[in-house]
Amino acid sequence: MEAARRSHSLTTDTPVRFLKGVGEGREALLANAGLAIVGDLLMFFPYRFEDRRHPVHIRDLRRIDAPVSLRGRLLSASLKVSPIKRLRIFEAILDDGTGTVMLVWFNQPYLKDQLKKGDQLAIYGQPRVNSYGKLQIENPDFEKLDPAGESEDEGAIVPVYSAVSGIPPKAIRKIVQQSLEAAATLVDPLPDILRSRLKVIPIIEAVLSLHHPQSLDGSFESFRTPAHRRIILQEFFAFQLSLRVRRASEEQSLKSRKTIIDDRIRELARKALPFTLTKAQKRVLKEIAADLQSDRPMYRLLQGDVGSGKTIIALISALITIGNGHQAALLAPTEILAEQHLQRIRQLVEHAGIRVAKLTGSTPAAEARSILGELQRGTIDLIVGTHALLEDRVRFRSFALAIVDEQHRFGVAQRKKFFAKGDLPDILVMTATPIPRSLALTIFGDLELSVIDELPPGRLPIKTIVRGSARLPKVYEFIEQQLADGAQSYIVFPIIEESEKLDLTPLTVGFESLRRVFPSRRLAMLHGRMSAEEKSLTMAAFKRGEIDILVATTVIEVGIDVPNASIMMIMDSDRFGLSQLHQLRGRVGRGSRKSYCVLIRDETTSEEAKERLKTFEQTRDGFDVAEKDLQMRGAGDFLGTRQSGMPRFRFGNILRDHELMELARDVAIETLAREGLEGADRLARALTDESSGAKD
């Protein structure tokens, strides 16, 4: 086998089993990590580097607040078990002649077979002073020195790769190092014209530089070297070109229907309006109306802060469609929100003879069969529902407008299945989560963007207050005063029941405690494990004023509208993202009462978490909140990567590199115009190949 390895000339297509140190077991482990061929390893870039060129002395460690390289001999090495949490801890003492330092590895018992007293080691790790005032380094990277005191990694800039289960970091480095022999066989997927337009270096130069940088200056650490720019722009351009190709493919077909907006439809919309539209709403409605009248299908994102009036715009859009003899559907993420949409819409259109129905997972079988029949015959104009609308049995007579509310809560495949139920339906997706432009370009790059950036007149500002848990009695006194004045309150907990992993107050415990705090008040619970009927009955009672305090989880985050509820108290608020806090805050302030949002944090909350909450306390505008949330948490946590279908980039960061994303979008549009749909599609497929440059 070794002879076969040596005689095999490496290319990007070479299976990883031909690399030294990769047997059947490691081949399977690498494949599970998406590393099946050498080309995959070439694009498996380090996520950080360790500069081991300047070893330090142990005597100097207390003055250093950064990872360090050390050399020394082990005075002792032993495996212990912690009496408290039963952790297996491997401890060793390193001596370099100037002093000693404790080395500690947690849950790595196998080290007792690798490290012995007297071993010479090169160490890399972060020194710190433990609770006993002793200096130690936790979980350091180490390498045994040969008898001559030599080390492969010491004195070098060492790449650190993402962990591959079952393979030690040092072995990963050696495997990737071998793959670099095949770098010369990389085929650059970007033609010269695109490299010139994007101002990027060739792929081979970028790959070699990213695996073995010559220096670690500020530009490298900030992902601003020519090599970083090349990989980031290739990722962004591939993504944007794929979006544009998909959009162009869908737009090749023209709608067979014609939509007109005449005086009859204007009168229908006018009668449904409960108030005068804001300037922002009028602007957005004009954009949507133009799309509906176009011969190409609409693909539009309607974005607006909590309470900005997106639903009324969606309803008018539906009325235009219905007035032209077609059907519309509104897909909501929860049954509570679907029910609220149904009630609101019926109030506004019942005078006009518009037939509205609701279909959810809890709709009784007989009623569901009746609704499905009417929908297929066309006697229902507008259907409101949840995931039940995605079922194969749901068919329309003439489905022309698909509205998706809080669309990032549905996966890409779910949305496609919904849209496929019509003949090129117009598509309007809505979100109350204000999304910064950089993120909107990434997730919704193939949609036109409409933004409602003002609230209806008369909305009172919500006073936001942060309090430590020690001040809860005073907060309860305040809530009691407000309840005595006729107000209602939400109290939100992050989890339903106790968890061994999370040190949080659960809703079930909190509910019993609150019943003792407010013995004369009517309390009810609302959470995701309740049946749809239980949730609907509870919300209806709260809306009628039959419940004073609704104790809930974040199931109330989206869409629930109770004008008399003017207090939102959020327990363990430091565990929520800013955008989620903003969504919860938006549940109050919807009526004529002065409203309050009280954030309760633990007294031991970190300074960083306190600063986040202080930022939220002082920020009112949802777009400002979203920008800060994106900066603090990153894009994946901002919306939830799995739910949003948001792509994961190797190096690209849509906040840090937003200007590169915009350049990639512009060049993608130019490329589609120059190459045509077929040529652009070919290029997009080549760029999105997992090996990003491997030969066919």
Could you report the per-residue pLDDT of 289-308, keeping only the tens digit for each? 999 999 888 989 898 877 78
| Lowest mean pLDDT across 87-101, 203-217, 491-505 | 491-505
Report residue 101's pLDDT band, with 50, 70 and 90 as the boundaries.
very high
CA distances from 227 to 230, 580, 586, 587 (A): 5, 36, 44, 47
How confident is the model over 485-506, as a mean pLDDT? 76
pLDDT of residue 627: 67
| Lowest mean pLDDT across 467-471, 541-545, 639-643 | 639-643
Give 3-23 pLDDT, tens digit per residue. 444 445 889 999 999 999 999
Q: Which residues of 639-673 are buried (b: 16+ CB within 10 A; e: fewer)?
A: beeeebebbebebbebbbbbebbebbbebbeebbe
How confident is the model over 309-329, as a mean pLDDT? 94
Instruction: Please give the Cα distance from 309 to 583 (Å, whole number).
Output: 15
Alpha-carbon torsion angle 269, 274, 279, 282, nearest 10: -10
Residue with tokens 């031909």: 18
**Structure-token pair, residue 112:** 């007792």
632: three-class secondary structure by DSSP: helix
pLDDT of residue 671: 95
Report residue 161's pLDDT band, with 50, 70 and 90 as the boundaries.
confident
SS3 content of the chain, % helix, strand, coil (to 5): 45, 20, 40
117 and 83 in contact (C-beta within 8 Å)? no
pLDDT of residue 618: 84
DSSP letters along 263-303, please?
A: HHHHHHHHHH-SSPPPHHHHHHHHHHHHHHHSSS--EEEEE
| Lowest mean pLDDT across 83-92, 193-202, 365-374, 440-449 | 440-449
Q: Please give the model's pTM, rounded to 2 decimal places.
A: 0.63
Report residue 409's pLDDT band, with 50, 70 and 90 as the boundaries.
low
- The residue type found at 308 is S
Instruction: Please give the Cα distance from 624 to 617 (Å, whole number).
Output: 12
pLDDT of residue 631: 64
Neighbours of 428 (CB within 10 A): 28
Cα–Cα nearest to 653, from 228, 242, 238, 160: 228
Residue with tokens 């992050």: 494
CA distances from 639 to 181, 435, 580 (A): 40, 9, 9
Quote the mean pLDDT of the chain: 84
| % the chain with pLDDT above 90 | 43
Higher-scoring residue by pLDDT: 144, 255: 255
